[in-house]
Amino acid sequence: MKNKLITSVLICALLSTVFSYAQTFEKLDEAPVDIAYLTHRKDSKPLVKVVYGRPQKETTQVFGDQVPFGEIWRTGANEATEVKFYTDMSFGRKLVKAGTYVMHTIPGEKEWIIILNSKTDTWGSFFYDEAKDVVRIKVPSRESAEIDVFSIGFKEQFNNMYMVLGWDSTRVDIPLATQDVILAKL
């Protein structure tokens, strides 16, 4: 009986040490991961899912300073931004097959290059391989209300869909469309 009691006390002490250690975090990520979905108007099935890191503004001007103009960018923080299309989509008026891609960008003062690349599960843009590009498009940037944390969202405007990248006072609208919308406009 005494041995069982001692064994039980030791097991409880060991488990409390393990559980208390599991609840300590060395440092929380300053750029947490977020997910944005675009769903179809007719039902709740997703059309697009974007998984991205959300860096915070560290300088007075993000683009051109914190994120240099003319250089490849992971379009967020930490791991490169992943875009999953659940159906074939028009991305900036170019057809992209259903699947998962990494989105890189090259910010410019007035225009951005948006890149979908097939090399997934990459850290940042450090391992970017241009040979794996699926599509490259150019879209204008515009000024808007300032936000301190990088964000990606979706909007519908005048029967058009857009993926919107926003940070600081910069917004980039990437046109999206499903095949049925493209065919209906023909």
* 129 Cβ contact list (under 8 Å, min separation 6): 117, 119
In a domain, 21, yes or no: no
The predicted-structure confidence for 40-61, as pLDDT tens digits, reads as follows 766 678 999 999 999 999 988 9
In a domain, 10, yes or no: no
In a domain, 103, yes or no: yes
In a domain, 5, yes or no: no
Is pLDDT larger for residue 39 or for residue 72? 72
**Which residues share a beta bridge with 81?**
103
Residue 131 belongs to domain spanning: 33-185
Spatial distance between the Cα atoms of 125 and 61, rounded to a whole number of angstroms: 21
Residue 131 in this model has a pLDDT that exceeds 90: yes
Helices (H) and strands (E) counted in the chain, each on its own, are: 2, 9
In a domain, 148, yes or no: yes
In a domain, 151, yes or no: yes
pLDDT number for residue 1: 61
Based on the structure, what is the number of domains in the chain? 1
Mean pLDDT of 157-169: 92
Residue 15 in this model has a pLDDT that exceeds 60: no
The predicted-structure confidence for 86-129, as pLDDT tens digits, reads as follows 999 999 999 999 999 999 999 999 999 999 999 999 888 898 99
